[in-house]
Chains A and B, each alone.
Chain A
């Protein structure tokens, strides 16, 4: 393949990564923005979503689309419920103290991961996509007789991958609408701006916190359900989304949702393209160093203007 089609392919694959990453990172960003809590267990909520999607499709059976639709609705709800329970039993009792909650969420990470290992086992298991038509993509080249269109070998995507990108766009718009157009979003933004003042105005801050923690985990689970037909469900799959979400949230500016989305697209696309040309390990080294240095020298993020 020539460079042009190659880049297009990398961009397409990168867009899928970016779409899923944006959803996961927005969940993390929401939790950090409103609650000021760094949730190390976020990747495990992602993993739980994928594993539950496998469980639900196996349990329902029948046509793959049926089980997948059920998983898309039920898995985020279940994971959200688990997160709300964790918030009410653990985080609330720590009074959301930043350092102690980090230690507690590290504990939560091990609990979720190891319980999954005990019940689901160490195998990676696939989930069948509801639809999966292969779409070849044409490429235009300057040939002997002017422009001609041809179908390069290997340049293709699937209808499901395009659907993932579409679904992520719809969900992100829905979150934006929720935050800016509904009363629930108003209450969340009020809590984010000033917790004590919100409490004084009669906003049930603890309920808002539980809800935000649930929504954040639910978004991670939703992203995992979308990606699980492409990847496979495995009990250690939470580590990469966690690391990437951290990178995205920090580069986008802690707690800023638009910054998070922009950074997710940037990181998702460049991860795909860098991994094509360099070794994936080197790409990861550079990304982690970048995050560390951004936090040291520009703690408000590359795009955020506010001090956090």
Chain B
């Protein structure tokens, strides 16, 4: 089996397993997995920027929220159909990430982290400020009638699961394709040594811009899908902790691996789920995992796997 065939077998195999799980999982875990797949899509978007391009953003909730509110406001205030509203959400994410990239890419390192954090915070506060339309912290519910997409009622668990799976599979394969193309290889080279890539004659700014827009658009797609699948749009999805979440998933699963975001989201979701059964302070787990990961396993789970078992894991 060639390397390419093994890579495709692994990733298509995961999608097949997720498809099969629909028929065997009990309702509780079935619902959880749908949620995890959408959150993993969010993390896939984050991973394009952080894992492959080496730019650590602390403001991805801005893109997630752009997708979510773009969709939610279009469907509830502008009265657009759900399919159009989804496109509005994704487009909003692309525009916001392009605008932020224009500013933030003038900085690097720690300044990039703080700039993204500050603009995301400003975005969060803006949502609160226009509370008349966004209902602020309270958020608003997407009516059941607005959650019917091409005849599929997305409030039905089975439809919801397959919609989440479709989104996840498309974004997984897009990111897999991306990092194996010259564009993606250049992003990895920028992560390793930006100076050298520039010396070799590549336009690093344009590549980073592309990475940021792709990353923001995937995150916004996840946000729009989250809103329509679970029927709720709220400001907590724009707040700082929701920017930390994909960082946590990607670090845990393995930055710069295609499967890392899903593995990280799966583990972290169930870890927090278990912890919230014991204590209200379930974010304690997130803090401990973050510190332990930076100390002992900066490569994450799939990164360790790549180091020990399979050097060619994308």
Which of A90, A117, A284 contacts B281 (CB under 8 A)? A117
Instruction: Give the interface size bracket for B toward A.
Output: 35 or more
A295 to B113, CA, bound (A): 11
- Which of B107, B121, B129 has most chain A Cβ within 10 Å? B121
Nearest Cβ on chain A to B157's Cβ, whole angstroms: 32
Q: Is B189 an interface residue (CB 8 A)?
A: no
Closest chain B residue, CB of each to CB of A286? B122
> A110 and B118: CB pair below 8 A?
no
Query: Of A47-55, A95-103, A142-150, which stretch is located at the interface?
Result: A95-103
Which of B107, B114, B118, B251 contacts A103 (CB under 8 A)? B251
Q: Is B274 an interface residue (CB 8 A)?
A: no
Q: Is A137 an interface residue (CB 8 A)?
A: no
Q: Is A243 an interface residue (CB 8 A)?
A: yes
A90 to B294, CA, bound (A): 9
> B109 and A285: CB pair below 8 A?
no
Closest chain B residue, CB of each to CB of A110? B287
> A111 and B284: CB pair below 8 A?
yes
Interface string of B277-314 (1 = CB under 8 A from A): 00111111011111101110010000000000000000
A257 to B287, CA, bound (A): 31
> A296 and B110: CB pair below 8 A?
no
Q: Is A93 an interface residue (CB 8 A)?
A: yes
> B287 and A108: CB pair below 8 A?
yes
> B111 and A103: CB pair below 8 A?
no
Given A38-B110, A110-B290, A289-B122, does the pair A282, B281 have CB atoms closer than 8 Å?
Answer: no
Q: Is B125 an interface residue (CB 8 A)?
A: yes
> A103 and B104: CB pair below 8 A?
no
> B118 and A118: CB pair below 8 A?
no
Interface string of A99-122 (1 = CB under 8 A from B): 110111011111101110110000
By secondary structure, the B interface counts as helix
Given A103-B290, A115-B281, A299-B107, does the pair A243, B121 have CB atoms closer than 8 Å?
Answer: yes
Chain A residues lying within 8 Å of B119, measured Cβ to Cβ, are 288-289, 292
> A114 and B290: CB pair below 8 A?
no
> B111 and A299: CB pair below 8 A?
yes
Given A94-B294, A118-B284, A279-B129, does the pair A296, B103 have CB atoms closer than 8 Å?
Answer: yes
> B115 and A292: CB pair below 8 A?
yes
Q: Is A281 an interface residue (CB 8 A)?
A: yes
Chain B residues lying within 8 Å of A285, measured Cβ to Cβ, are 122, 125-126, 129
Q: Is A226 an interface residue (CB 8 A)?
A: no
> A104 and B295: CB pair below 8 A?
yes
Within 8 A of A (CB), among B80-110: 103-104, 106-107, 109-110
Given A99-B110, A291-B118, A299-B107, does the pair A114, B281 have CB atoms closer than 8 Å?
Answer: yes
> A99 and B56: CB pair below 8 A?
yes
15 additional A-B pairs beyond A102-B113, A114-B287, A292-B114, beta carbons within 8 Å, are A99-B113, A102-B56, A103-B294, A104-B295, A106-B247, A107-B287, A108-B287, A110-B284, A110-B286, A111-B288, A111-B291, A117-B281, A288-B121, A296-B106, A299-B107
Can you report 21 residue pairs joining A to B where beta carbons are below 8 Å apart?
A90-B291, A90-B295, A99-B109, A99-B113, A100-B294, A106-B247, A107-B286, A107-B289, A110-B284, A110-B290, A111-B288, A114-B282, A118-B281, A118-B284, A243-B121, A285-B126, A289-B118, A291-B114, A296-B104, A297-B106, A299-B111
Binding site for B on A (CB under 8 A): 38, 90, 93-94, 98-100, 102-104, 106-111, 113-115, 117-118, 243, 246, 250, 279, 281-282, 284-285, 288-289, 291-293, 295-297, 299
